Structure 1
C-alpha cells in the first residue's frame, strides 16, 4: 500500500461568513477527533500531513497571516487545537477544491502518495469537491465522517453518499483511521 496523506481542509477559519452558526455547531464536534488524528499522523513517518486553507481572497497572505486571522476570529477555540505543526506542508487555496489552483497534485506526486484521507470543512462543499478531484486523479479516498464539518446535515449526508458511491471513497471514522494505512 502506498503512502497516505492526511489533508486538513479549511480548518483555519475566522468563522466570519454566512451560515457560520450552523458550521460552528458541527465544527465543535469535529475538532477533538480531528486534533487527535492530526497528532497521530504527525507522529508517523509514512503519513504526509498537509493543510490546505482558503486565503479568503488575500493573495498576499502567508501561512502566518492565515493562522493569525483564524486565531483572532470568532472561534479561536476551534482553531487553536488544529494549528498546523511547523514542519507540515501548508497550501493556500482560493476555491472549493484543495486541488484547484494549488500545487497539491505536484506535492502528492513528489511524496508518492496514493491514498488521501480528507478532513476539514465544509463536507458538502470543499471536502466533496476535493474528493472528486482526488478520485479523477486516481487517488484512493477515505473520509472519516467524524472529522468533517458541515453547514447543512442533509447535504453533508448526501455528499458523503456521493463520495462513497460515485468516487469509491471509504467513509469511515477517525478511530478506524488511526492505523492510516
Structure 2
C-alpha cells in the first residue's frame, strides 16, 4: 500500500494485545482483558471501515528480535488464554509494529508512520493501562499528538494503578477519556 494515498488524521493503536498470559501478573490482567475484548473488537471493526482512521497494532516482541508479527500472534493464540486473543487477530494487510519496551514509540517506527499518515490524534487501546498505555500516552503527548484513551478498551493489572494512570493521562497529558462508542471523530 502506498502510504501517501492513505492519509489518516486519526490512528487507533492496539497495544500489546497478543500476550501468552504465562507471566506472574497474567491472572489479574487476563480477568481485566476479558472485559475489553468485545468493545475493542468493535472499535477495531468500526475503524477498519473508515478511510480516515489508521489501525496500527504495536506489540512487544518479548525479547525475540527475530520474531515476525505472525510469530507473536501465533504464540499468543497458542498461549494460556486464546479466547482473549482470537477475536483481535489482524488480517495479513494490517499495520503491525514490534516494540521492545513500554512505550509504543520507543525504538519503533511509529512516529515516522504517523507523520507520514498526517496523523494528529491517537486513540490508545490495549494493555497494560498503568504501564504500556500510560507511557505511550506520555510519548504521544510530548510529540504533540492529541491523545484519546477509551477506558472500556484498556486493561490493567492493578485497579488502583489503572485508575491513577487514567487520571494522570487526563490531567497531565490532556487525554480525552470517552467510551469506545464515542471515541472516533
TM-score in terms of structure 1 length: 0.97
Alignment of 1:111-122 (within 5 A): 111-122=117-128
The answer for the alignment partner of 1:15 in structure 2 is: 21
Instruction: Name the SS for the 1:84 alignment partner.
Output: coil
Alignment of 1:129-148 (within 5 A): 129-148=135-154
Instruction: Name the SS for the 1:160 alignment partner.
Output: helix
Q: Unpaired runs of 5+ in structure 1?
A: none
Task: Spell out, residue by residue over 1:68-111, the C-alpha distance to the aligned partner (whole angstroms, 9 max, x if none).
Answer: 10000000000000111222210000100000010000000000
The answer for the alignment partner of 2:181 in structure 1 is: 175
Q: Unpaired runs of 5+ in structure 2?
A: 1-7
The reply on whether 1:126 has 2:132 as its aligned counterpart is yes
CA RMSD across the alignment: 0.8
**Going by fraction, where is strand more abundant, 1 or 2?**
1
Task: Spell out, residue by residue over 1:10-31, the C-alpha distance to the aligned partner (whole angstroms, 9 max, x if none).
Answer: 0011111111110011000000
Which of 156, 166, 171 is the aligned partner of 1:160?
Answer: 166
Runs of 4+ with >6 A deviation: none
**Offset at residue 155 of structure 1 (A):** 0.2
Alignment: residue pair count: 178
